[in-house]
Structure 1
Amino acid sequence: MKDLNRLKVVLAEQKKTGKWLAEQLNKDTSTVSKWCSNKMQPSLEMLMKIAELLDVDIRELIISTKH
């Protein structure tokens, strides 16, 4: 799958772990791991929750299509 999200980068920038995010969202750590490695993508609704938790604009979590 093509890299579509920047979740791993944003978590690293904020010194947070996938385990922390999984606990906040009540999700399995393997699910969050798949999101971070771009093997799977979170739904838009879930991406909004993640953006809220990390206090970032949702666009910061998505790889830009314009360079």
Structure 2
Amino acid sequence: MPRNSPAGFITAFFAVLMGFALIWHIWWMAILGFLAAIAVVLVAGWSVEREQEISAAEIAQMERAR
């Protein structure tokens, strides 16, 4: 199963920051938002531990508990 990751939320935050800065012509903030969004995407893309393994016994135990 894929692990939970805040990468999408953080990328969206920096994209909104960049959009705000572009609308109001705050160029230093637009560049910062763009670079930060790219950095988050690259770090999340090259992360090694993106999955967690769940055994069949654990799944059966969770299903019985429901």
- TM-score over 0.5 for the pair: no
Larger Rg: 2
Under TM normalisation by the shorter chain, which class is it? under 0.3
User: TM-score of the superposition, structure 2-length normalised?
Assistant: 0.23
